[in-house]
Structures are given as C-alpha cells and as structure tokens.
Structure 1
C-alpha cells in the first residue's frame, strides 16, 4: 500500500487503511505478534473474571438482557455485541496485566480485541477475518495515539480508552464490511464518544475505561451501518476531538501506514501492575538478594511522565498498589512476588 499520509488527513487515511488493507499483505511476523497478544488477552481476561469490577459489569449485562449475539467472560448466556465488548474490555483490563504499547503509552488489545470479537461473533466471521480486523484496529489505535501525542496523555486522558475507541470502531467496521466513507463516519462519530481519564488509575473505573472504548467502537460501527451520519472530520476539524483534547495533530504518525507496522513492538507484562513500574522492579531484582532490614531508603529515578501515572505515594488499596513505586519496591524486598495476582490485596497494602 502507498503511504497515504502525504495526501490525506488522519480520518481519510485510517478509513482507507481499515477497508483496503489486504490481509494477505500483512507480514507473518506481525500477525504472529497479534496472535500472541490474543493469547495474552484471553489469559488475563479469564484470570480477571472474579474481580469486583467484573461482577459489576456482568450484573449490568444480566439486568439489561437483550439479543443473544456474543459471549462475555464469565457469563453463560450470550448478550448484545455492544454489551459483550463492554464486559470483555473491562474484565480483561481488570488485573492490569495486559499488553502495552509504549509508542503512545496505551493498552491496545483490551480496547480493540473485545470489539472485534463481539462483532465477529455477531456476524459469524471467520477466525482469520477476526484476527486481521483486530490487528488493523490495534495498529490504528497506536497511530491515533501517536497523532494525538504525549500532550494528550499528560493532560490526563487515558490513551487506552481514547485512541483505543477509534481502533475498536475500525476493527468492528471492517468486519461489517463498511466502505471508506462509512469508516470515516465511524471515526467522526467516535470523536464525540471517545472518553477516559487517568484520574481513575487505581480504581475500578480504570479497567472500565477499556470496556468503554470497546463498546463505543461496536456502537459507532453499528450506528453508521444503520445510517447515522455524523460530521465526518470531527476527529481533526476545528473544535474536533484532537484540538479539544490537547492533541498535537502529528501527521508523521501516519508515515508508512500499511507497510511499516507499529503493533509488533507491543510489550507483554511480567508483573501484575502498571507497566511504568516494571523497569524499576527489574532494576531492583538485578541487585539480587537484599536484606530488608539493611535498607534505609530506595531512590527510584524515572521519566517525569510516570509521576502522573504510577506514583501513588500512599496507596490504601490493592488496586492503588498497582500504581505505586513505593508499594511495589517494598513488596519485592519483603519477598512478595509482584507477578502474582494475590500479592495485590487491601490487607497487604495496609
């Protein structure tokens, strides 16, 4: 595919990419990473089924009922595709153990895969069709995140939820076989729908952000499929999503779209906490055995951007522990495995 960034804005470029990208032209090594992330996604999703936030979103799904279109983690009955995406996005992000892309600092799979899976099940798509749509959606979410830039994230917006919603919509729209104009409409509609704040980190609403993104993607694709026509360029126009959400409108984010893939640089976690804490944990581990009673102080040097992400100085809950340098450093020194799910409890935090 030709580099579209030289001629088109982000809406047209991403819409064309989502529709016209031939699955046969996707490098096998890139698809292999997508399959690894799919395995990672289902494993962390299954592990998160008993988290309190999972019970909350499933209760909502049961109460609302509706058409039996897709499966949700931890539920025997099928639910509407939009609700399945909401549940699965939330549940798979509940443990904060899912993949991370550091190009824009976001979790691509938990926003995009639930949307693609729900839509694939709703329409009866094949496995390869689902996988290609998920990859294209994840790649698009990274590109949107790069287009928005670090200022968007630093201002307090959660890239997983905001950039992720656009990727989720394109994945769902590809499975619905929308044309480029309709895909542009999906992006335009999501410009007024995408949301998610970093202020929720350390609470149950943080994983809910991922569920919102997935559900928004399914909803936007279906509404456009049914004829809803929004302002098509609302992602990039004056008073659109980009400018009102501290976006940089960096069109270099589109360079090599369809030929130079970014998603295969995704990272998978080895600790059940915010990825921003991993480098410090690995550095501490490299010191070998250290007697806790011999330690007077631990000093962590990190990029300033992480101070607004995972530096809760006095956590009071297990969820807040997942975003606290102070807590995970102490946990490791005291012999608590930061890779284990049961290490992050309110009791241990206290």
Structure 2
C-alpha cells in the first residue's frame, strides 16, 4: 500500500486507549510549553503582527483568531522554548505541528476534547509514519521533519475533524505536498519554531481548502515529481499500527534544549563529581547530531540550546538545564562555563544510536569514569506523568499547572483552551 493510500485509510481508524492516554500527556506538555512560550518577549512582535482578525480559537497569551492563524501562532509559540516532545523514529517534534491545528479547528467546530485527542493521536502517528517513509536522507539533506512530516500529520488530523471523505482527504494531502516546507538552517533562530507554526497552519488550510472543493494531484506524496522525489525522500516501507503505536515511544523533554543533547545530559546527571576534579571530558554521540546541536561556541541563549559542550559545562558547574531561565545570552558569555566548555571534546560514534550518548570523564587523580544513557529506556505512563507534572510545575507554577492538568484529563475542551491565556510567574 502506498503512503497516500495508507494515510487516507488511517484517517478514520480507531484509536488505541493507551495511544490516546499518551496523547493527553503530550497535550499537557504542549500546552504548558505554549503558555510559557507566549511570555518570550522576542516573539511578541510576531504575535501582534498576526492579530489582524478575531475568531473563536484561543491563542497562547490571550486573544482569539481564526483556525489557520491560531494554528500558526500557537505552533510557533509552543516551539519557541524548544522544550516540547520529540520522536526519534524520524527526528521531529510532532505535537507542535499537529496539536495547534487540532485545537484551533476543534474550537472552531465545537468538537469534544475526546474527539480532538483522537484526531491529534492520528495526526501525530501519521507525522511519524510520514517521517519514517521520507527516511533519513530527507532529514540529512537539510529538511526539518517537524515542518515537513508534521504538516502531513496536521493535515490528516484536520481532515478527520472536518469529516472529509477519502477523495477529499487525498486532495488535502496533495495540497499539503505543495505547502510543506522547512529547513534545518533555521536551527538556533526564531525561524525554527516558525517552521512548526507553518506546518500547523498548512494542515488547517489544506483540509479546509479540500473541503471547499479544491483538488490536487492524486498522489502528491509518492507520485511522479511528488514530494518524495523532489525532497530527497527514500520511500521507506511503513505500516499502520496494530498493537504498538509509534506515539508510545514519543520522548518528552526534561531539559530545556535540543533533544539531541538529552542523552548526554542524562548521563552527566550521574557524574557526581565537582568540575575542578575533572581533567578531561569526551562526549560521544551519533553522527547525525553533529550538524544539529554541536555549536562549539554559542553566542546567544538560543544557540546554547544547540551546544553539546556548553550544556555539558553548564551541568557540571551546577546550572540546571531543566530551567528555561538558564538559557540566556548571559549564560552564553559566562566565563566559567566557557572555560570548561572549551576543554570538552565532542566526537561522533556510529556505534551509538540516535538516542544514546556516552561521556568519558578523566579525573585529575587519573580515574576514568564512563557514563552512558539511552533515551529509549522504558518509562511507564505513570512515571512519565510524574516527570511531566514536575516540569510543568516549574514552567507555570503549581496552581496553573494543576488547573491545566485537571483540564487535560477531563472531557471539556474549553477548559483546556481557557488555560491558554496563562498567568505571569
């Protein structure tokens, strides 16, 4: 079955209970990231520039807009901190592309929270499947899977919410094929989160246009001169989920930086050694991350989020990488961090997977410590929810975190979107 036929069929699939439960955790995490992201003053001008219309869809930080605009703004703001979830099967951030489209349309259409969660689950799964289908060459050549695969996931989720028939859904995916875009050159800039917003808006617009009667290529993804042929896709074989869904292995962030750094940071959390006792530090990672998050000498807080050496130095010197506040321009210039950073060696190791990292610490005493972590280590839903609630408590404050949590585990979509305005911390 071709990718387009697979996605069209999947749009109306039943959603597994455990997959939907994971989606609710990602909804909690995504909303918290968006509420906190709306406080970032550097995005204030962008947000204001989009407020050219009023509408029923809530926007992070207050106000309302039409579904497409809300999807754009909320997708961008929820990825502004780069603190949202990731899926390593295709190296993308699925929730920030899919959930803004789903929540904006669900509000506009007065859809229940349960149906919105089911649509988002389908969309996230489709995003990951599309990313796997595109393959590693698509990512390595420079495309941002959050923006490309994410747009197809957002489109399929929107098609489900709108109740599009199979032919309309096919056209929506075809329209998306002309719209999906985003490049990794934007990493470390404000345009990286914009990639997520554009993907979410594409999903809303492609589905609405297909509903309105606009047609497109019958197979804009895998057909002649389609997306895979023109965007360095591999056409990897994928199958629809049965017992195991891709969303079950989604990875949530517990450090406020690029997810490629997290295995290294988790490994360092077990170092238990003072920085002054360290004579040498060697970090080994999968080759793919060397072009993503290995900025050797970051100059800004944004660039720090993409630096192995700088975040490793921060951790060893006691600067909490789970705190958004620690990723700022002052941290980038900190003399102590920079001095330790410049003594750290980062190298690639193709024996490691994309979710693994190994750190070798050589102490002044001559002792050598080898630390290793794999982000795919099993974690139950209960364990994950505890870690996420701790994260969101820190992001929003405990009262706001509790209100959002109760809304997300409930049945009222309006209760969730009412939290979007947020409160200062």
Tell me, in whole angstroms, the C-alpha distance in 2 between the residues paired with 1:214 and 1:294. 48
Q: Is the 8 A contact 1:101 1:142 kept in 2?
A: yes
Q: Is the 8 A contact 1:189 1:232 kept in 2?
A: no
User: Out of 157, 165, 168, which is 1:179 matched to?
Assistant: 165
Q: Which residue of 1 aligns with 2:414?
A: none
Matches within 5 A, 1:188-227: 188-227=174-213
**Structure 1 residue ranges without an equivalent (≥5):** 1-7
Instruction: Please identify which structure carries the higher strand content.
Output: 2
- Return the TM-score normalized by structure 1: 0.92
> Is it true that 1:121 corresponds to 2:121 in the alignment?
no
- Specify the SS of the correspondent of 2:179: coil
Matches within 5 A, 1:36-185: 36-62=25-51, 64-65=52-53, 67-76=54-63, 78-185=64-171
State which drifts further: 232-241 or 153-162.
Answer: 232-241
**Structure 2 residue ranges without an equivalent (≥5):** 334-425
Q: Which residue of 1 aligns with 2:419?
A: none
> Is it true that 1:17 corresponds to 2:7 in the alignment?
no
Aligned length: 333
Tell me, in whole angstroms, the C-alpha distance in 1 between the residues paired with 2:145 and 2:298. 23
Q: Deviations over 1:26-64 (max 9, x none)?
A: 2221111111111111111111111145313311222x2
Q: Is the 8 A contact 2:10 2:240 kept in 1?
A: no
Q: Deviations over 1:277-328 (max 9, x none)?
A: 011111122111x222333432110110000111111110000000000110
User: Out of 259, 264, 268, which is 1:275 matched to?
Assistant: 259
Tell me by how many angstroms 1:250 deviates.
1.0
- Return the TM-score normalized by structure 2: 0.76
> Is it true that 1:330 corresponds to 2:322 in the alignment?
no
What's the C-alpha RMSD, in Å, of the aligned pairs? 1.2
Q: Deviations over 1:190-242 (max 9, x none)?
A: 11100111111111111111001000110111111111111121111121111
Q: Which residue of 2 aligns with 1:264?
A: 248
Structure 1 segments of 4 or more deviating over 4 A?
none
In structure 2, relative to structure 1, the CA distance for the partners of 1:103 and 1:207 (3 Å cut) is same
Q: Is the 8 A contact 1:53 1:90 kept in 2?
A: no
Q: Is the 8 A contact 2:6 2:240 kept in 1?
A: no
- Specify the SS of the correspondent of 1:165: helix
Q: Deviations over 1:163-205 (max 9, x none)?
A: 0000001111111110111111111111110011111111111
Tell me, in whole angstroms, the C-alpha distance in 1 between the residues paired with 2:42 and 2:30. 17
- Specify the SS of the correspondent of 1:298: strand
Q: Is the 8 A contact 1:331 1:338 kept in 2?
A: yes
State which drifts further: 51-60 or 232-241.
Answer: 51-60
- Specify the SS of the correspondent of 1:118: helix
Tell me, in whole angstroms, the C-alpha distance in 2 between the residues paired with 1:313 and 1:96. 19
Q: Which residue of 2 aligns with 1:293?
A: 276
In structure 2, relative to structure 1, the CA distance for the partners of 1:52 and 1:205 (3 Å cut) is farther
User: Out of 316, 322, 343, which is 2:299 matched to?
Assistant: 316
Tell me by how many angstroms 1:259 deviates.
5.0
